[in-house]
Amino acid sequence: MRFFVGAIALLAGTAVAQDCNCDCVIDSCFEVVAGTSPFPAQATIADCRSFMWTVITVAAETVTTTAVVTATATSTTSDVRWTTITVGTESAPLQKRQATGVNIPDYATAACPQPSDFSSACKCLGVTAGGTSYHHVLSTETVTTTSTVTTTEDFTVTTTATESATATDLYFKIRAANVAENGSWEGFYMYTVPEGNSPEMPRLAFVNNTDQGLIFRAGPDNKVLGGDGTVFAGDVSDTRSEQLYLRTPDSAQVEYTCTFDPSSKHIACSGSGGGNTFSLFAIRDNARVLMYMDEAGIAADNSTYGSVGPIVLEAVPI
């Protein structure tokens, strides 16, 4: 799986071939695709994704409004005025298609005469079949204004102007990154469990099961939300740690702001309660998420709750 917006830095060369989970053949085809740089070209990664992945798109929503202004003049003139409208952001239904008709890039056709040759080279660069690109268009706003000017000679001049804009969301799962500081929680995925017997209090936790991992999304502003747009909430107290939930905060909670870093693909969250700021992730022995003010608080709770952290979280493509 790989990101569908923004390229993840992938190591090229022998090291990549040794680390991937495919049977790498270091032949002339791989050498042409990988290139001589320590890192494969972003254009090459994009070519591999186009060749290997499935694409899911959303039909754009278009709203058009027309305003007519009429005036009388002794000579022919034109007047263009803009009318502003507000377009809702509700998504149109997803439509799924398998990428077809994608040819081997020209630079690789000689060294990779068969599709299987190019696919093998792409796999050795880390781009495997089964990935999905989500092109999610929130809305397309179209504003159309028609201005009509009538002269004493009784003919009309009409001018039409159109503006449009689109926005794209990223969809992914959140995982404890495979780094030493995450300890035994490496590779676990974020999901929710009910707080006690209260399903309306979905507390964030981690599970060692990809399928159970929740889908999250980040908009163009890189703010992370639940896949359905739900925000994060934390309890308000003056203790050194707070519990984190995926829900609209109630009167005893505050909203936590979580963000996606396009460069590192890491996820960060921060919230304030009791005059303190909590921004460090930790996982306690029951797999629940706790937010801490500092590393000293995590260390102090290690013997009581088995807290491990600060945990490094990363976004994983779906």
pLDDT, tens digit (0-9, with 9 covering 90-100), for 225-256: 999 999 999 887 656 677 889 999 888 888 99
Q: 50-72 pLDDT, tens per residue?
A: 888 876 765 555 555 555 555 55
Cα separation, 20 vs 48, in Å, equals: 15
Half-sphere exposure of 276 (CA within 13 A, CB side): 18
Domain assignment present for 19: no
- Which positions ≥6 away from 296 have C-beta within 8 Å? none
**Domain containing residue 198:** 171-317
Helix (H) or strand (E) holding 50: helix 42-52
Domain assignment present for 188: yes
Domain assignment present for 4: no
**Choice between 222 and 161, residue whose per-residue pLDDT is larger:** 222
Q: 272-316 pLDDT, tens per residue?
A: 877 788 889 999 888 899 888 888 888 888 888 888 989 999 999
Domain assignment present for 76: no
Average pLDDT, the chain: 75
Domain total of the chain: 1
What's the pLDDT band for 110 if we cut at 50, 70, 90?
A: very high
Domain assignment present for 266: yes
Q: How large is the average pLDDT for residues 38-49? A: 86
Q: 116-125 pLDDT, tens per residue?
A: 888 888 888 8
Domain assignment present for 90: no
Sole residue written with tokens 């022998």: 14
Q: What's residue 303's pLDDT?
A: 85
Sole residue written with tokens 């709750």: 305
CATH number where 225 lies: 2.80.10
Residue 76 has pLDDT above 70, yes or no: no
Domain assignment present for 313: yes
Domain assignment present for 267: yes
The pTM (predicted TM-score) of the whole model is 0.48
What residue ranges in 49-151 does DSSP mark as E strands?
54-58, 62-63, 68-73, 94-98, 132-137, 140-141, 143-151
Give the tokens for residue 212.
Answer: 């159970």
**Choice between 93 and 85, residue whose per-residue pLDDT is larger:** 93
